Amino acid sequence: MLADWLTPVRAALDAREQAIEIFFRDDDAGWDDDRLYALLDCFRDCNVPIDLAVIPDALSPSLAGSLLGRWRRNPFLLGLHQHGYSHNNHENQGRKCEFGISRSEEQQFKDLLVGKQQLECLFGSALDRIFTPPWNRCSQATADSLLKLGFQALSRNRSAAPLHIGTLQEIPVAIDWCGIRIKSAQPWLALGQAVADVLYPEYPAPLGIMLHHAVMGVDDLEHLQALLQLLREHPTTHCRLMREFLCEPKAVDAPASAFPLEPQAVLTAMQSYLLTKPL
């Protein structure tokens, strides 16, 4: 049965004495819009918030408008933040990385700045000052650039190598939904056990669960809906948006631009964006 895979999750939650805060981060917004909308509808129907890590160079004006419309209808159910710039691998060997050791701080800063400006032009105050690097990997130069650009938080894997992050906060994910499912012969049982394993009482909240809508089908959504319903109803769980974990969370009625920029910088970024994107 569909609910069987949640048996260890329910047992772990029942055993907790303290509440735990949970967030869902879906990566690669800008790819496969139809599957993204299906995922967003799933979260909306369950009344559970979700954060989208948005690829600036992959985002179309039509998707941006749709996401902004959803945010305006209920900003407490949707978070939007930057996911790299183009999501391209720049490493010649080893693991894939867009913001890795092969790129200078100057190169990384430029991409981060342009991507930030493009998203600001399209989302305004809906954009959170959070950065998720593609493949959850980045270098010290990335953290240094993020600080210079006024970001508040960096979100990677819980097991990522530590960086000197200064005033940046870390909001890590612990569960890779698609990674666990793809690698296991019994995907749903493995996923349920993985979630249960990180729900032990000492786990430092918040607990982050990472999704990738572009490789999630109907079966994923059915199992995800069951998990969302359990988390929504269980007394020890509180599902949040990532911005709620920031030391200085942004008000949802913030000014039109959450990141003050010079007018010419905004104009240049938008012109560059529109030259490469179909209207």
**pLDDT value at position 203?**
72
pLDDT at 247: 86
The answer to whether residue 279 sits within a structural domain is: no
Q: Is residue 116 part of a domain?
A: yes
Domain assignment present for 21: yes
Report pLDDT for 12: 95
pLDDT value at residue 251: 54
Report if residue 124 sits inside a domain: yes
Domain membership of residue 117 as a residue range: 2-274
Residue ranges of the chain with per-residue pLDDT less than 50: 253-270, 273, 276-279
180 part of a folded domain: yes
CATH code of residue 243: 3.20.20.370
Number of domains in the chain: 1
pLDDT tens digit string along 242-260?
A: 999 998 756 554 333 333 3
pLDDT of residue 258: 35
pLDDT of residue 139: 97
**84 within some domain:** yes
The pLDDT of residue 279 is 41
How would you write the chain as a 3-class SS string?
CHHHHHHHHHHHHHHCCCCEEEEEEEEEECCCHHHHHHHHHHHHHHCCCEEEEECHHHCCHHHHHHHHHHHHHCCCCEEEEEECCCCCCCCCCCCCCCECCCCCHHHHHHHHHHHHHHHHHHHHHHEEEEEECHHHCECHHHHHHHHHCCCCEECCECCCCCCCCCCCEECCECEEHHHHHHHCCCHHHHHHHHHHHCCCCCCCCCEEEEECHHHCCHHHHHHHHHHHHHHHHCCCEEECCHHHHCCCCCCCCCCCCCCCCCHHHHHHHHHHHHHHCCC
